[in-house]
Structure 1
């Protein structure tokens, strides 16, 4: 049973690249013996430390304290599979994992046609009609590389197209954030077909564990968002030659800032008013990621997913520590005051997602932190920007107004600020100022 395996094993620390001892596992070069299939790939794992991220983290004041943490390797372009512009490709990362003596590598496959429905800060390279290229030039080379017997003893955790299916719930009619591009993508079925194809290809490789993204509680928690998202996940897992059994688990809060547990919002009624009536909660049945993920997992099992499916939580940027973190329940003058002075997540609105100020590193990566949870992970490498805060000289194709700290023109007419950093670089580039704040506001603290 999965629950018997979850006893809080801390992921084995891997030394940061600067001081890493060279360890080559016996027979790693050409071993044909596949790693045995595991219920939880993180238990007893020695996770891979990406030397490119580690070097950037270590170069920041105080960054050496976390530079040895494992983070996700994002494959977000066709060229990222082979490596380009001086960056490591997939095979280079796998070879480095063997050199480190690691036995677990975390990947994010993120290159669907019309990625994120053409969302401006993260729009990908493939057009809406380029599903054949996605399959042949992106998924197939990844699967072929991972199937190399040289890497048979590595446990490969593959998060397949994070953010994509939740987008097809929250950005289609009648939602206020609906876009024509999301409507077109959903009607075409390219996301479900592409994800299904990736799941099917990866499902033939014994040491690959595929996870699907379920958004986060502040996006998918409401019943009318959660249920259609689950339906899309099941449809994708049955598309492209795949089946539900190819899904090893789910991941929540990928690249987001939602609190793991709102420990100080203990009361549900203040002065006769339920906390769901508040501006912050807004009738959401969930306050945090743990409650949301546990409930979503149970619904997924009831919908036909494997009863042993596990959950990952991305805790890379949801620590919310520092001097402004509450230490006890808040004031009970009004229900809104109670929630706002009690909550750990200090965003102006739960939907804010771009380069949030005031955030901190969250729980360090750990295996089996609680029953049915495979691990807390840092899939999003902390320090990498979510998007540029101003239009770029080459045009506005990489500028999303949610990354503008002065933007107030949302479709839902919300007056709340975006909470985004000023002077932030384009998505994926190193954001030194935010990384330093993540260190300062880490919870648990760094050191």
Structure 2
């Protein structure tokens, strides 16, 4: 290769690494004008989970500290298999301080040269009145919420998982008529608002391999802005195997202009539960295990990351004996996963 081409390649690579990991004055990551073409963070020597941010205030970490105070050191060490690994931070309401919480998260990650993962989950008519029902009261409130979070992320790098289940549920008929049209429009607006922030990579949720064929959901994902996002997210809060998700993601990518994807591996180490029993297939099913640890190095050309989007140990819903509402810490289930 001619010398001038080798130099040019080295300069481009150096510019990308600087944009991803360079720290500017005040702890803010340096930014280029457009989002980088890939979310790749060079491995840091000695780090078991390079590149991704570990939240020291997550529910698992808080529980570990409580176990230590109670003298239950053996249980605390087991639970560290969850607490010491990166997981997404969820934003699910417009309660006071949500923008500040987002800003503090991305600032702390930048200070440690790590990439934070945020899951945004506030779409109107969320979860079709199921266990995670709620969301914004109307379209105007949702757009304002997205704008506030985009402002909080400005100046920092972040990976955003946008609205788990929102597209798939609309395709399955959870919403009809104007409500469905509005949902696609709101998702497309959220994609465009967030991707306009330099350094923010947006992955629109695309369900999981068992929900529906790729050819059925792909048109809806296009309507919802997936073709303009960095890509799409698979298996969020689900249990399908990584192999099946990679196969499904590759099929979807072909239908979405080569978009990349991420896979939630948080609880798929033992695959899905047997079908039957209604919601027990996906709502705190017993016998599940932690999956592949979070990483930005998947070895797959289209998979940007294996992530723990669903925080292991947090409930899927009040669907069984002793199970708390969705999103709340579920100690017994957490310990079962960690063991």
TM-score calculated relative to the size of structure 1: 0.62
> Cα deviations across residues 293-342 of structure 1 (Å, max 9, x unaligned)?
221212222xxxxx3x211110000111xxxxxxxxxxxxxxxxxxxxxx
* 1:183 matched to 2:199: no
Report deviation, 1:247.
0.9
**2:115 & 2:309 partners in 1: Cα distance?**
13
Distance 1:185 1:157, change over 3 A: farther
Report deviation, 1:82.
2.4
Larger radius of gyration between Structure 1 and Structure 2: 1
Counterpart of 2:260 in structure 1 is 310
1:50 touches 1:70 (CA, 8 Å); kept in 2? yes
2:23 touches 2:29 (CA, 8 Å); kept in 1? no
TM-score calculated relative to the size of structure 2: 0.80
**1:107 & 1:219 partners in 2: Cα distance?**
23
2:91 touches 2:120 (CA, 8 Å); kept in 1? yes
Which consecutive unaligned segments of at least 5 residues does structure 2 have?
A: 1-21, 43-49, 68-74
Which consecutive unaligned segments of at least 5 residues does structure 1 have?
A: 1-24, 173-178, 238-242, 262-287, 302-306, 321-343, 389-402, 405-421, 441-447
Superposed, 1:240-259 pairs within 5 Å as: 244=227, 246-259=228-241
**1:437 & 1:227 partners in 2: Cα distance?**
36
Q: Secondary structure at the match of 2:251?
A: helix
Report deviation, 1:362.
0.4
Counterpart of 1:49 in structure 2 is 54
Report deviation, 1:363.
0.6
**1:368 & 1:46 partners in 2: Cα distance?**
10
* 1:33 matched to 2:15: no
Distance 1:47 1:64, change over 3 A: same
Counterpart of 1:166 in structure 2 is 168
Counterpart of 2:8 in structure 1 is none
**1:257 & 1:65 partners in 2: Cα distance?**
18
| Aligned length in residues | 297
**1:69 & 1:114 partners in 2: Cα distance?**
32
Superposed, 1:16-95 pairs within 5 Å as: 27-29=24-26, 31=28, 33-34=30-31, 37-44=35-42, 46-53=51-58, 54-56=60-62, 58-59=64-65, 61=75, 62-79=78-95, 82=98, 89-95=101-107
Superposed, 1:69-148 pairs within 5 Å as: 69-79=85-95, 82=98, 89-99=101-111, 101-119=112-130, 121-127=131-137, 130-136=138-144, 138-147=145-154
Q: Secondary structure at the match of 2:83?
A: coil
Counterpart of 1:230 in structure 2 is 218
1:214 touches 1:220 (CA, 8 Å); kept in 2? no
